[in-house]
């Protein structure tokens, strides 16, 4: 039966594995023999089918490389001239997106799940596409039957086409499910990795101070999800197109090798033109729009965060002008993108319309010369369109490709910045070490980023249980000393050692979101503490009125940053200190917003409840001196450099 089929069709049987005697296509082979007088029946044995298809596959490889690989290489290897921007941690182009994508697939804890879902996606798409190719044969047959007015054969083949169409549905649903699952797994892997790096000790500090990534929140919370979404869509497209290509290229080659060659050249020219002329500008503009959108959003969010001081100083008009300016910059880029997208769209439109005429021009003469049945003409058009579509996926999806590359490079920029911040956090200068003494500072010199020194050769020592008050003019470097003790400074030399655990209380304490219990016990795990201990510590921190106002309910939730006064926030931090009871407490103007009697009451509590604990206080209030055993006094000379004088406090309260 096969030997009587047309050569090309038999070749396709080999490719599609449809060589069974009752297969759809072998059925269809009978029809033309019965109905078409001039259809040549060239006999080719099944064993020669694969070698005969080698030219088609060679052509496919070259065409696929030219249409997909080469343009992608052009974008990936495109480098900007070295500028300040290109020195940034933002990695450019496809290589960044690729690094992120490959980490998701191979380097994450979820790679097994990803692999299973990718295989499921591939198999379901392969089955759906096999059904689609088989359907194209049924279509050819019913069109031929229609042209020859063979009603019975027409309805028979039409029914077969409908069955095949229905068969693709479950495979399509399965592919949809696998793609959805893969998006979730990849977003999870990406978000998890970024969050873990973001919340490593002290990383956010260095990210804020030394990186040029102004919007990590946006990248983690929004763009990671979007990137995973687009990446899965892209992979699905590539799978689908490769499968279509392998199915329909065989069909096309069986009809006319010339058609195959024309299609491959046409696709290669189209894809190269797209990437060469539209690629680089669109990727660059997309990335710039992302950054400007983030800056615009941040300028609005900042005003909400600092609503009270902004309203009090009447800064709305000024901030409005600032935000408007950022928006106008964004708008300029949006116009540029619209221009490039319009040009790309026009090119694509022209490209696809011209593609309709080519198969008609090549295959119609064959039918007119009775070399092929009529159904071959629509089949060739369909195969040409599908194969061309597959080869020009870069052309058709270039908007998504450029957005994917832009977001991939921004995420890679964040990954790089987090890695740099993490290295910085592990290597502060000077690096604080653990000591048995409360604090030991020996020959400490701290410098600013411009290389100038705040002070040099500072030395002092505090034994366990001793305390130190630090005085000095504004800008002398008192807080910088605290930063160095916390490992948050990167300019200096000398030795810096202190006992652990240590608690730092800044002037403006961190207020977490959540319940009053969390605010009073942060960063301790709040549910490991008993209510009565938290309430007692709050009472000792002069927070009785705040607790009473909330009905002594520790579960009450509010925007504590906005609800509590600065003095109340400072008292919350004091409450945490009483619960934590570390070996060393460092208070940087931690009671500056309190009235003097409350401040003194808190220090009294510190001395009585935390006996044996050492503490260092930075303050501008001389009245606090009596609660400390030692004093460090900074003075600044004419050159702007400070020097510190350390002495025992003879006026300390016993
Ligand atoms: N990251 C930084 N980059 C550049 N200069 C900095 C940085 N951090 C601090 N400085 C400068 O270092 C100096 C010391 O700052 P620091 O905050 O230690 O002063 P201070 O003595 O605590 O002042 P105040 O009493 O006003 O709080 C200031 O002139 C400040 O501008």
- pLDDT, one tens digit per residue, over 534-558 is 999 999 999 999 999 999 899 999 9
pLDDT of residue 27: 37
Distance of CA 505 from the midpoint of ligand 1 (Å)? 17
Please, which pLDDT band fits residue 286 given cuts at 50, 70 and 90?
A: confident
Nearest protein CA to atom 27 of ligand 1, as residue:
474
Distance of CA 594 from the midpoint of ligand 1 (Å)? 23
Indicate if the alpha-carbon torsion angle 364, 368, 374, 376 is positive or negative.
negative
Q: Is the pLDDT of residue 291 over 80?
A: yes
Q: Does the Cβ of 451 fall within 6 Å of ligand 1?
A: no
Nearest atom within ligand 1 for CA of residue 480: 18
Please, which pLDDT band fits residue 66 given cuts at 50, 70 and 90?
A: low
Cβ–Cβ under 8 Å, residues 103 and 305: no
Distance of CA 209 from the midpoint of ligand 1 (Å)? 13
- φ, ψ at 43 (rounded to 5°): -90, 120
Nearest protein CA to atom 18 of ligand 1, as residue:
477
Distance of CA 430 from the midpoint of ligand 1 (Å)? 17
Distance of CA 477 from the midpoint of ligand 1 (Å)? 6
Q: What is the mean pLDDT of the chain?
A: 82
Q: Is the pLDDT of residue 654 over 70?
A: no
Tell the residue number behind the tokens 């004419």, with chain if given: 638
Domain with CATH 1.20.1560.10 in the chain: 2-76+91-426
Task: Give the residue ranges of DSSP H helices in 203-315.
Answer: 203-210, 216-218, 224-255, 257-273, 280-305, 307-312
pLDDT of residue 252: 77
Distance of CA 231 from the midpoint of ligand 1 (Å)? 45
Please, which pLDDT band fits residue 277 given cuts at 50, 70 and 90?
A: confident
Please state whether the predicted TM-score (pTM) of the whole model is above 0.80.
no
Please, which pLDDT band fits residue 505 given cuts at 50, 70 and 90?
A: very high
DSSP string, 141-170: HHHHHHHTT-HHHHHHHHHHHHHHHHHHHH
Q: Does the Cβ of 478 fall within 6 Å of ligand 1?
A: yes
pLDDT of residue 515: 93
Domain with CATH 3.40.50.300 in the chain: 433-648
This complex has an ipTM of 0.97
How far is it, in rounded angstroms, from Cα 117 to Cα 640?
Answer: 64
Nearest protein CA to atom 5 of ligand 1, as residue:
448
Q: Is the pLDDT of residue 79 over 70?
A: no
How far is it, in rounded angstroms, from Cα 99 to Cα 102?
Answer: 5
Distance of CA 399 from the midpoint of ligand 1 (Å)? 47
Nearest atom within ligand 1 for CA of residue 472: 21
Percentage of residues in the chain with pLDDT exceeding 90?
46
Q: Does the Cβ of 477 fall within 6 Å of ligand 1?
A: yes
Average pLDDT over residues 546-572: 93
Percentage of residues in the chain with pLDDT exceeding 70?
84
Nearest atom within ligand 1 for CA of residue 209: 1
Nearest protein CA to atom 13 of ligand 1, as residue:
475
pLDDT of residue 93: 59
Average pLDDT over residues 524-533: 87
Average pLDDT over residues 326-340: 92
Q: Poorest-confidence range of 51-60, 82-91, 235-244?
A: 82-91
SS3 487: coil
Q: Is the pLDDT of residue 312 over 60?
A: yes
Q: Does the Cβ of 474 fall within 6 Å of ligand 1?
A: yes
Tokens standing for residue 335: 């116009």
CATH number for region 433-648: 3.40.50.300
Q: Does the Cβ of 82 fall within 6 Å of ligand 1?
A: no
Q: Is the pLDDT of residue 28 over 80?
A: no
Q: Is the pLDDT of residue 307 over 80?
A: yes
How far is it, in rounded angstroms, from Cα 202 to Cα 200?
Answer: 6
pLDDT of residue 86: 38
Cβ–Cβ under 8 Å, residues 173 and 120: no
Average pLDDT over residues 633-653: 90
Nearest protein CA to atom 29 of ligand 1, as residue:
475
pLDDT of residue 516: 95
Q: Give whichever of 121-125, 234-238, 521-525 has the largest mean pLDDT.
A: 121-125
Q: What tens digit of pLDDT does each residue of 353-409 get?
A: 777 778 888 888 888 888 888 888 887 887 787 777 777 776 677 778 878 888 888
Does domain 2-76+91-426 correspond to CATH entry 3.40.1410.10?
A: no
């Amino acid at each position: 039966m096969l030997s009587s089929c047309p050569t090309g069709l038999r070749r396709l049987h080999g490719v599609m594995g449809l060589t069974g005697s009752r297969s759809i296509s072998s059925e269809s082979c009978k029809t033309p023999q019965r109905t078409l007088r001039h259809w040549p029946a060239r006999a080719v044995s099944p064993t020669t089918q694969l070698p005969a298809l080698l030219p088609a596959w060679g052509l496919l490889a070259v065409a696929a490389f030219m249409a997909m690989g080469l343009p992608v290489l052009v974008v990936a290897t495109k480098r900007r001239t070295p500028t300040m921007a290109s020195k940034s941690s933002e990695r450019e182009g496809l290589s960044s997106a690729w690094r992120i994508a490959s980490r998701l697939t191979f380097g994450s804890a979820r790679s097994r799940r990803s692999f299973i879902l990718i295989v499921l996606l591939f198999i379901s798409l392969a089955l759906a596409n096999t059904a689609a190719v088989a359907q194209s044969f049924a279509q050819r047959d019913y069109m031929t039957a229609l042209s020859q007015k063979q009603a019975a054969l027409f309805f028979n083949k039409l029914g077969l086409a409908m069955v095949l169409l229905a068969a693709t549905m479950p495979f399509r649903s399965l592919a949809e499910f696998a793609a959805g699952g893969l998006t979730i797994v990849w977003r999870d892997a990406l978000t998890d990795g970024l969050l873990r790096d973001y919340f490593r000790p002290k990383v956010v500090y260095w990210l804020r101070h030394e990186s040029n990534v102004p919007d990590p929140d946006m990248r983690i919370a929004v763009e990671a999800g979007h990137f995973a979404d687009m990446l899965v869509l892209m992979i699905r497209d590539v799978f689908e197109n490769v499968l279509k290509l392998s199915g329909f290229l065989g069909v096309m080659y069986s009809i006319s090798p010339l058609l195959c060659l024309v299609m491959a050249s046409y696709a290669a020219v189209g894809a190269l033109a797209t990437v060469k002329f539209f690629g680089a500008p669109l990727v660059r503009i997309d990335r710039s729009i992302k950054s400007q959108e983030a800056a615009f959003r941040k300028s609005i969010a900042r005003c909400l965060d600092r609503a009270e001081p902004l309203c009090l100083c009447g800064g709305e008009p000024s901030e409005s002008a600032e935000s408007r300016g950022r928006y106008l910059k964004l708008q300029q880029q949006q116009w540029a993108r619209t221009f490039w997208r319009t040009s790309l769209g026009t090119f694509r439109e022209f490209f696809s319309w011209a593609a309709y005429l080519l198969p008609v021009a090549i295959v119609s003469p064959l039918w007119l010369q009775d070399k092929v049945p009529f159904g071959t003409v629509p089949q060739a058009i369909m195969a040409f369109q599908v194969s061309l579509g597959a080869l020009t996926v870069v052309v058709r999806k270039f908007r998504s490709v450029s957005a994917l590359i832009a977001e991939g490079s921004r995420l890679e920029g964040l990954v790089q910045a987090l890695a740099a911040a993490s290295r910085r956090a592990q290597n502060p200068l000077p690096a604080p070490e653990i000591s048995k003494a409360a604090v030991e500072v020996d020959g400490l010199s701290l410098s600013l980023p411009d290389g100038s020194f705040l002070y040099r050769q500072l030395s002092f020592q505090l034994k366990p249980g001793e305390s130190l008050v630090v005085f000095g003019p504004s800008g002398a470097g008192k807080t910088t000393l605290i930063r160095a003790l916390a490992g948050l400074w990167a300019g200096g030399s000398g030795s810096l050692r202190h006992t652990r655990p240590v608690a730092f209380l800044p002037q403006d304490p961190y207020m977490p979101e959540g319940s009053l219990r969390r605010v009073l016990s942060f960063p301790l795990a709040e549910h490991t503490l008993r209510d009565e201990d938290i309430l007692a510590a709050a009472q000792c921190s002069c927070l009785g009125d705040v607790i009473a106002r909330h009905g002594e309910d520790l579960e009450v939730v509010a925007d504590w940053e906005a609800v509590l006064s600065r003095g109340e926030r400072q008292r919350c931090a004091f409450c945490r200190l009483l619960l934590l009871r570390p070996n060393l407490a460092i208070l940087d103007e931690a009671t500056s917003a309190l009235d003097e009697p409350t401040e003194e009451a808190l220090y009294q509590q510190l001395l009585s409840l935390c006996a044996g604990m050492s503490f260092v206080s930075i303050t501008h209030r001389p009245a606090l001196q009596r609660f400390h055993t030692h004093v460090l006094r900074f003075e600044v000379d004419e050159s702007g450099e400070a020097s510190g004088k350390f002495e025992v406090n003879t006026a300390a309260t016993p």
